[in-house]
Amino acid sequence: MSETEEVFDEPLVEALGRLFEQFWVLRDEEPEAYRFIREHENKLKRYVQDKFGYDVIVHQHFAKLEKIPVEPKSWMGIQSFTEPMDYAIFCCALAYTEQKALDEQFLLSDLAESIETLYPGEFPLDWTNYNHRRSLVRALKEVNERKLMKTIDGNIELFQHNEEEEVLYEVTQYARYFMRSYPDELFRFHSIEEMLEDEWRRQPDGGRRKRVYRKLMLSPFVHRQSENDADFAYIRNFRNRLRDDFEKHTPFRLEVFKNVAMLTIPEAKRRYTLFPDNKGLVDVCLHVMTELREKQDELAINEFGEVRLPIASLEQTVRDAKERTDHGWAKKFREERIPEVTRQVVKQWQTWEMADWDETLRVVTIRSGAARLTSVYPKDYLEKVEEEKT
Q: What is the DSSP annotation of 254-277?
A: EEE-SSEEEEE-SS--TTS--S-S
CB environment 323-340: b (16+ within 10 A), e (fewer)? eebbeebeeebeebeeee
123-139 residue pLDDT tens: 899 999 999 999 999 99
Q: What is the pLDDT at residue 389? A: 75
Average the pLDDT over 290-312 and give the result.
Answer: 91
Q: What is the pLDDT at residue 307? A: 94
Average the pLDDT over 355-368 and give the result.
Answer: 94
Q: Is the pLDDT of residue 276 over 80?
A: no
Which CATH number is associated with domain 279-389? 1.10.10.10
Percent of the chain exceeding pLDDT 90 equals 68
Lowest pLDDT segment from 77-86, 157-166, 198-207, 258-267: 198-207
30-86 residue pLDDT tens: 999 999 999 999 999 999 999 999 999 999 999 999 998 998 888 888 888 999 999
The residues with which 250 forms a beta bridge, in sequence order, are none
Answer yes or no: same fold for 76-177 and 279-389.
yes
Of residues 50, 40, 56, the one with CA closest to residue 4? 50
Q: Is the pLDDT of residue 277 over 70?
A: no
Output 197 or 46, whichever has higher pLDDT: 46
**pLDDT-derived band of residue 111, with 50, 70 and 90 as boundaries?**
very high
Q: Is the pLDDT of residue 3 over 80?
A: no
Q: What is the pLDDT at residue 4? A: 46
Average the pLDDT over 187-206 and give the result.
Answer: 81
Q: What is the pLDDT at residue 340? A: 96
Q: What is the pLDDT at residue 1? A: 41
Of residues 7, 64, 63, the one with CA closest to residue 35? 63
Q: Is the pLDDT of residue 216 over 80?
A: yes
The domain limits of the chain are: 3-66+184-264, 76-177, 279-389
Q: What is the pLDDT at residue 192? A: 82
Does the CA dihedral 210-211-215-221 come out positive or negative? negative
DSSP 22-79: SS-EETTT-HHHHHHHHHTHHHHHHHHHHHT---EEE-SSEEEE----SS--GGGS-T
Average pLDDT in the chain: 90
Contacts of 356 (CB under 8 A, 6+ apart): 350, 364, 365, 367
Average the pLDDT over 149-170 and give the result.
Answer: 93
Of residues 191, 146, 150, 152, the one with CA closest to residue 168? 152
Contacts of 182 (CB under 8 A, 6+ apart): none
Residue 105 has, within 13 A of its CA and on its CB side, a CA count of: 6
Q: Give the containing element (helix H, strand E) for 150.
A: strand 149-153
Q: How far is CA 109 from the centre of its chain?
A: 33
Q: Is the pLDDT of residue 197 over 60?
A: yes
Q: What is the pLDDT at residue 6? A: 67
Contacts of 305 (CB under 8 A, 6+ apart): 257, 258, 259, 260, 367, 368, 371
Contact, 276 vs 354, CB < 8 A? no
Q: What is the pLDDT at residue 275? A: 60
Q: Is the pLDDT of residue 8 over 90?
A: no
- What long-range pairs does 68-76 form, CB within 8 A, spacing at least 24? 68/196, 68/199, 68/214, 69/214, 69/218, 69/219, 70/196, 70/211, 70/214, 70/215, 70/218, 72/192, 72/196, 73/219, 73/353, 74/350, 74/351, 75/351, 76/218
Q: Is 199 helix (H, G, I), strand (E, B) or coil?
A: helix
Q: Is the pLDDT of residue 337 over 90?
A: yes
**pLDDT-derived band of residue 270, with 50, 70 and 90 as boundaries?**
low
Q: What is the pLDDT at residue 253? A: 94
Contacts of 306 (CB under 8 A, 6+ apart): 365, 366, 367, 368
Output 201 or 278, whichever has higher pLDDT: 201
Average the pLDDT over 285-311 and give the result.
Answer: 91
Average the pLDDT over 166-187 and give the result.
Answer: 86
Contact, 25 vs 44, CB < 8 A? no
Q: Cα 47–48–54 angle (5° rounding)?
A: 150
Which CATH number is associated with domain 76-177? 1.10.10
